[in-house]
A = this chain, B = another copy of it.
């Protein structure tokens, strides 16, 4: 398995406004994206990778002159890797509202002449998918071989099959959920309150004041981080270990290693992440609920996806988007007689596991993408509905408890 090496971010400007679910529209906007591998002559080997909260278009490879700048899913995407760039043309795209290059709250608002700030329109998973579809148009791709994402990225992958089912064949949703639970929303809300009530937030127009609400961002990230890790992985990594070997009896200084780790994560995050983006992306998470338009019937929401095929993956220790949430998705697909493979991976690392290099998890995705690649190479004209295929057989490192329907 090799590395992709140096990659260059690309960008594309869209003049046509993007209508949003809120009823508002995003005026002209720019999307930053990256591609890896080569689009074949039939343009049927493209795979779109959707990002979650804290990531962007830079999925794999490194940026020139920047140490340790590997993309956020570099362990998955590359030559010979599970999502093999020798077979697939892989696309990473940064969503509007984010702070990694595409048009976001820190950019010029043509309506006011100042940065958007809190006036950036509220964007949803569905809006992002529509924006991505325009990029796919621009790249000359009529149908994606697959769309894949973890967590919030998995929500986008699912939304593709609901909004643009003819334009994608396979959907791979990892560590995702059909919507946020009240507890999930609660954690997002606490993080938002920490940001919004930071005196440096200035109602979301802090750019003009030359400050950022770093206190709020730190607390937000610390809360998020706790929900990304499992109780067990925290116990294994930090336990009750003391930073200085003995107690100092202090309420304000660090005593435990876990405190040191969380503060460090918060500090780093507050230096590069945009507070308005944090609000926008957590709201997109809160709002995603495709069943809501169908009286709570998730199967009805997936009805347009009857010719798509799915791979749903969850992790046993993920308490943010627990396996039962993935099983809700599987059930809704099965109710539609849609081809779905499901794997529950016995991994220690909680929600974060989707980003990590777990052997069983990666073997599973490798097997699935091999099937997708074989199918693409034998593919008839793309407008014919694809034939249902059997779910992939896992190899020697088979994931535990695979359920196929």
Contacts and interface: CB of A to CB of B under 8 A. Distances in A.
Contacts of A193: 218-219, 222, 263, 266
A229 B161 CA distance: 35
Given A189-B262, A234-B186, A118 B204 contact: no
Contacts of A286: 255-256
B219 A182 contact: no
A180 B239 CA distance: 9
Interface string A260-293: 0011001000000000100110010011010010
Q: Could you say which of A223, A263, A266 has the most chain B C-beta atoms within 10 Å of its C-beta?
A: A223
Interface residues of A, number: 59
Contact of A204 (B252, B256, B292): B252
Interface stretch (A75-83, A194-202, A299-307): A194-202
Interface string A228-252: 0101001101111000000101111
Instruction: Tell me the number of copies of this protein.
Output: 2
A264 to B, nearest CB: 12
Contacts of A239: 182
Contact of A182 (B21, B23, B238): B238
Contact of A262 (B190, B199, B231): B190
A248 to B, nearest CB: 9
A7 interface: no
A186 B252 contact: no
A190 B226 contact: yes
Contacts of A237: 182
Smallest CB-CB A-B distances: 3 pairs: A22-B249, A251-B279, A182-B234
